[in-house]
Structure 1
Amino acid sequence: MKSLAYVCAAVAVGLSGAPAQAHRTNCGPQRPAIERVLADYRSAIERLDAQGTERLFAADSAVFENGGVEGTYANYLAHHLGPELGHFRSFRFADHRLDLWCDGPVAVATETYTYRIERTEGAPIERRGVTTSVLRRTGRNWQIVNMHGSSRAPRPAS
């Protein structure tokens, strides 16, 4: 599976010490294109309309969420995300922060945020979340090949 190979390569680059660090960059002129992919995905979620988001993901992508293996993005969209969005009145991200680095045609993004979901039935859901995405550049385009997200209830203020 290609996406697993990219994840392993990204982890190896990140853990291999000082020599690999010399290749890590803040993505230079590629940064806006990578940020756009991630922003387009968040925007679709907030619109409660994932139509067209398939273009943001590689066909051999892998999605993991809260300890679950969701398969490719196409599978995740068809069997999890798509149906789930139909049960929401609104979904809003806040306090978004992005850490992004690149090594050649691979980018690793870590996003932290809070979100609030207003459901069609039941109480609202508020969470703190983190998503790590591995993207690869093919030609002029960047696509997500691996996405892993998790969330938890916010801790009470002390």
Structure 2
Amino acid sequence: MNHRALRMLAAAGMLSLALPSLATTASAQEAEQGADEATAAGALIAYRDALVALDADAASALFVEDSSVFENGKAEGSWANYLEHHLGPELGHFEAFEFPRYEVEIREMGDLAYGEERYSYRITLEDGRVIERDGVATSLLRREGDTWKIVSHHSSSRAPRN
């Protein structure tokens, strides 16, 4: 199945989210208990964990080759492009990447899944500066054998509101 077809399926999947018979939801706690890439929630948690570990290779293994990444209003292209031109250089300046709050919900539709994440993150830069944000992300995942891979990932964040 090509990338365009998956995008159309994602749009169709969004409509099916309102139908509980076609979708299941996993809480973050449930996902943490079996957090492995054999579950869609586990794949998103593994992505979060790769960021915490500042491990670009571990994160890369979670994306399909023809993926799409969108961040804060910008189309970043594929995961490989996003890693090379945006996230990769940033990770080199991070001392720590933490997620003090993290929630994930998954709705599976056969071999596709739609994930919603709500979180806060804290980045400590190598020069000691700290960046704190509240964020959300949506992802389309595809089952490949006994693992789940991210096809499309869209995240946005803002400064926490007091």
Name the TM-score, length of structure 1 as normaliser: 0.86
Task: Give 1:97 shift.
Answer: 0.8
- Alpha-carbon spacing, 1:107–1:17, altered in 2? closer, same or farther (3 Å): closer
Contact 1:3 1:146 in 2 (8 A): no
Percent identity among equivalent residues?
A: 47
Which residue pairs with 2:102 in the alignment?
96
Shift of 1:89: 1.0
Runs of at least 5 residues in structure 1 that lack an aligned partner in the other structure: none
Give the whole-Å Cα distance in 1 for the aligned partners of 2:17 and 2:57.
41
Q: Which runs of 5+ in 2 are unaligned?
A: none
> In structure 2, what residue type is equivalent to 1:10?
A
Preserved CA contact (<8 Å) 2:135 2:158: yes
Find the counterpart in structure 2 of residue 123 from structure 1: 129
Q: Which amino acid aligns with 1:121?
A: D
Question: Which AA in structure 1 matches 2:25?
Answer: N
Q: Deviating runs (4+, > 3 A) in structure 1?
A: none
TM-score normalised by L of structure 2: 0.84
Which residue pairs with 2:52 in the alignment?
Answer: 46
Q: Is the 8 A contact 1:13 1:21 kept in 2?
A: no
Q: How does 1:105-144 map to 2 (within 5 A)?
A: 105-121=111-127, 123-144=129-150
State the superposition RMSD in angstroms.
2.1
Aligned residues: 152
Distance 1:122 1:77, change over 3 A: same
Whether 2:12 is the aligned partner of 1:6: answer: no
Q: 1:80 — aligned with what?
A: 86
Q: Would you say 1:24 and 2:30 are equivalent positions?
A: no
Give a deviation string over 1:113-157, Cα, whole Å, max 9, x none: 00111112363111000010100012222100000000000111x
Structure 2 distance, partners of 1:102, 1:17, is 9
Residue 53 (structure 1) shift = 2.3
